[in-house]
Structure 1
Amino acid sequence: MSQYMPFQNDFQHSSATYINRELSLLEFHKRVLAQAKNENYPLLERLNFLIIFSKNLDEFFEIRIAGLMKQIDLKNISNAPDGIPNEIILQQISETAHQAVAEQYEILNYTILPQLQHYSVRFIQYQDILEKHKAWIKQYFFKQIQPVVTPISLDPSHPFPRLVNKSLNFIVTLQGKDAFGRQIELAIVPAPRSLPRMVRLPDELTGGAEHYILLSAIIHQHISDLFPGMTATGCYQFRVTRNADLSLSQDVTDIALALKDELSSRRFGRAVRLELGSKAPEALSDYLLQQFDLEPSQLYRIEGPVNLARFMADFDIPSLHFKPFQPLIPKVLRQPQRIFDVLSKQDILLHHPFDSFVPVIQLLKQAAHDPNVLAIKQTLYRSGAQSEIVQVLAEAARNGKEVTAVIELRARFDEESNIEVANLLQEAGAVVVYGIVGYKTHAKMILVVRREGKQLKRYVHLGTGNYHAGNAKIYTDYGLLTTQEDICEDVHKIFQELTGMGRLVQLQKLQHAPFTLHQHLLELIEQEIHFAQAGKAAHIIIKVNALTEAKLIAALYRASQAGVKIDLIVRSICCLRPQVKELSENIQVRSIVGRFLEHTRVYYFHHAGENKVYCASADWMGRNLFSRVETCFPIENKKLKKQIIEFGLLNYLKDNVNAWQLNADEQWQQIQAKDGEALFMAQQQLIERHQFED
Structure 2
Amino acid sequence: MNSKSSDGRILMTGASRGGSYLNRELSLLDFNRRVLAMAEDHSIPLLERLRYLCIVSSNLDEFFEVRLASLLAQHRIGGSETALPAALAATMNLAAQHAHAIVARQYELLNTEILPQLSRHGIHLLRHSERTPEQRAWVKAYFETKVRPLLTPIGLDPAHPFPQVVNKSLNFIIELSGKDAFGRDSGIAILRAPRVLPRVIRLPEEVTQKGVAYCLLSSIIHSHIEDLFPGREVISYSQFRVTRNSDLWVDEEEVKNLRQALQGELHSRQFGFAVRLEVARSCPKHLSRFLLEQFSIDPDHLYEVDGPVNMVRLNQLVSDVKRPELFFPGFMPGMPAAMVNSDIFATLQHQDVLLYHPYQSFEPVIDFLREAAEDPDVVAIKQTIYRTGINSTLMESLILAAQRGKEVTVVLELMARFDEETNINWAERLERAGAQVVYGVVGLKTHAKLALVLRREHGELRYYAHLGTGNYHPSTSKLYTDFGLLTANPALTSDVNEVFLHLTSLAKPRELQQLWLAPFTMHKAMLRAIRNEAAIARQGRPGRIIAKMNSLTDETIIRALYAASQAGVKIDLIVRGACALHPGVKGQSENITVRSVIGRFLEHSRIYYFRNDLEHDVYLASADWMNRNLFRRIEVAFPVLDKTLKKRVIQEGLNPYLKDNVNAWELGADGVYRKRKPRGKQAHFCAQQFLARTLGLPAAT
State whether TM-score is above 0.5: yes
- In the alignment, which of 133, 142, 145 is matched to residue 143 of structure 1? 145
Q: Is 1:587 aligned to residue 592 of structure 2?
A: yes
Q: 1:457 aligns with which of 453, 462, 473?
A: 462
Give yes or no for contact 1:373–1:451 (8 Å, CA) kept in 2. yes
User: Counterparts of 1:290-689 in structure 2 under 5 Å?
Assistant: 290-312=293-315, 313=317, 314-335=320-341, 337-689=342-694
User: Would you say 1:24 and 2:7 are equivalent positions?
Assistant: no
In 2: Cα distance, 1:592 partner to 1:351 partner: 17
Distance in 2, Cα, partners of 1:271 & 1:454: 61
Structure 1 Cα separation of the partners of residues 535 and 72 of structure 2 = 44
**Unpaired stretches in structure 1, ≥5 consecutive residues:** 1-12
Q: CA, structure 1 residues 579+84, in 2 after alignment: closer, same or farther (shift >3 Å)?
A: farther
- Give yes or no for contact 1:176–1:183 (8 Å, CA) kept in 2: yes
- The 8 Å contact of residues 177 and 229 in structure 1, kept in 2 or not, is answered as no
| Paired AA for residue 692 in structure 2 | I
- 2:170 equivalent in structure 1: 168
Tell me which residue corresponds to 2:95. Answer: 93
Q: Could you give the per-residue CA deviations for residues 271-326 of structure 1, whole angstroms, max 9, x where no partner exists?
A: 00000001111110111111011121111001100011111211211000000111
* SS class of match (2:21): coil
Q: 1 CA distance for matches of 2:678 and 2:30? A: 22
State the shift of 1:692 in Å. Answer: 6.5
| Structure 2 counterpart of 1:108, one-letter code | L
Contact persistence 1:125–1:216 (CA under 8 A): no
Cα deviation for residue 134 of structure 1 reads 1.5
Kept in 2, the 8 Å contact 1:165–1:240? The answer is: yes
CA contact (8 A) 2:338 2:353 kept: no
Distance verdict in 2 for CA 1:184–1:84, change over 3 Å: closer
For residue 615 of structure 1, give the secondary structure of its aligned residue in structure 2. Answer: strand
130-139 vs 575-584, which deviates more?
130-139
Q: Following TM superposition, by how much is the alpha carbon of 1:669 offset from its aligned partner in structure 2, in angstroms? A: 0.7
* 414-423 or 666-675, which deviates more: 666-675
Partner of 2:115: 113
Q: Mean alpha-carbon deviation: is it higher for 248-257 or for 56-65?
A: 248-257
Quick one: distance in 2 between partners of 1:541 and 1:483? 28
Q: Report which stretch shifted further, 204-213 or 375-384.
A: 204-213
1:223-266, CA deviations, whole angstroms, 9 ceiling, x for partnerless residues? 11112222323221110000001112141221111111211110
**Contact 1:539–1:566 under 8 Å retained in 2:** yes
Question: What is the distance in 1 between the residues matched to 2:508 and 2:110?
Answer: 56
C-alpha separation between the residues in 2 aligned to 1:128 and 1:110?
Answer: 16
Deviation at 1:15, TM superposition (A): 3.2
Tell whether the 8 Å contact from 2:547 to 2:609 is kept in structure 1 after alignment: yes
Distance 2:667 2:17 in 1: 18
**Counterpart-to-counterpart distance in 2, 1:607 and 1:595:** 34
DSSP 3-state at the match of 1:495? helix
Match of 2:53 in 1: 50
Confirm or deny: 8 A CA contact 1:385 1:424 kept in the other structure.
no
- Note if contact 2:468-2:485 (Cα within 8 Å) is conserved in structure 1: yes
Say whether residues 1:289 and 2:295 are aligned partners.
no
Q: Quote the offset at 1:566 in angstroms.
A: 0.1
Aligned to 2:10: none
**What percentage of aligned pairs have identical amino acids?**
51
Q: Which amino acid aligns with 1:44?
A: L
Moved more, 570-579 or 66-75: 66-75
Q: Give the direction of change, closer, same or farther, for the CA distance of 1:506–1:76 in structure 2 (3 Å limit).
A: farther
Contact persistence 1:68–1:90 (CA under 8 A): no
Contact conserved, 2:17 with 2:23, CA < 8 A, in 1? Answer: no
Judged with a 3 Å threshold, the aligned counterparts in structure 2 of structure 1 residues 569 and 243 are, in CA distance, closer, same or farther, namely same
- Give distance in 1, aligned partners of 2:133 and 2:654: 57
Would the aligned equivalents of 1:384 and 1:390 in 2 still touch at CA under 8 Å? no
Q: Equivalents in 2 of 1:432, 1:570: separation in Å?
A: 34
| 8 Å Cα contact 2:448/2:634 also seen in 1 | yes
Relative to structure 1, the CA distance from residue 517 to residue 679 in structure 2 (aligned partners, 3 Å threshold; closer, same or farther) is same
Change (3 A) 1:53 1:225: same
* Shift in alpha-carbon separation, 1:663–1:39, aligned structure 2, 3 A: same
8 Å CA contact 1:105–1:303 kept in 2: the answer is yes
Instruction: Report SS of the residue matched to 1:680.
Output: coil
Distance 1:127 1:577 in 2: 51
Distance 1:200 1:446 in 2: 44
Q: Distance in 1 between matches of 2:474 and 2:83?
A: 42
Question: What residue is the counterpart of 1:7 in the other structure?
Answer: none
2:666 counterpart SS class? strand
Tell me, in whole angstroms, the C-alpha distance in 2 between the residues paired with 1:84 and 1:662. Answer: 27
Residues 674 and 76 of structure 1, relative CA distance in 2, 3 Å threshold: farther
Shift of 1:72: 3.4
Matched, 1:264 2:267: yes
Equivalent residue in structure 1 for 2:250, among 248, 251, 256: 248
TM-score by length of 1: 0.96
Tell me the equivalent position of 1:278. 281
Structure 2 CA distance, aligned partners of 1:391 and 1:576? 42
Cα distance, 1:132 vs. partner?
Answer: 3.1
- Contact 2:135–2:208 at 8 Å: present in 1 too? no
**How far apart, CA to CA, are the structure 2 residues paired with 1:633 and 1:690?**
23
Structure 1 residue 77, shift from structure 2 partner: 10
TM-score (norm 2): 0.95
Structure 2 SS opposite 1:519: helix
Q: How many residues align?
A: 677
**1:399-419 CA distance string (max 9 Å, x none):** 111100000000011011110
Q: Distance in 1 between matches of 2:291 and 2:285?
A: 10
8 Å Cα contact 2:167/2:271 also seen in 1? yes
Aligned partner of 2:5 in structure 1 is: none
**CA distance in 2: counterparts of 1:130 and 1:227, whole angstroms:** 25
Report the CA distance between 1:502 and its aligned residue.
1.9
Between 439-448 and 253-262, report the one with greater CA deviation: 253-262
Retained in 2: the 8 A contact 1:72–1:86?
A: no
SS at match of 2:164: coil
Letter in 2 for 1:309: V
Distance in 1 of aligned mates of 2:33 and 2:68: 16
How far the C-alpha of 1:385 sits from its partner, in A, is 4.3
1:128 and 2:134 equivalent?
no
The residue correspondences of 1:47-86 to structure 2 (distance < 5 A) are 47-73=50-76, 85-86=87-88
Distance of 2:269 and 2:170 partners within structure 1: 17
**Deviation at residue 510 of structure 1 after TM alignment:** 0.7
Q: Aligned partners of 1:444 and 1:549: how far apart in 2? A: 21
- Mean Cα deviation higher: 409-418 or 204-213: 204-213
**Equivalent residue letter for 2:338:** V
- SS at 1:219's partner residue? helix
> Structure 2: which amino acid aligns with 1:366?
E
Whether contact under 8 Å (2:199, 2:217) holds in the other structure is yes
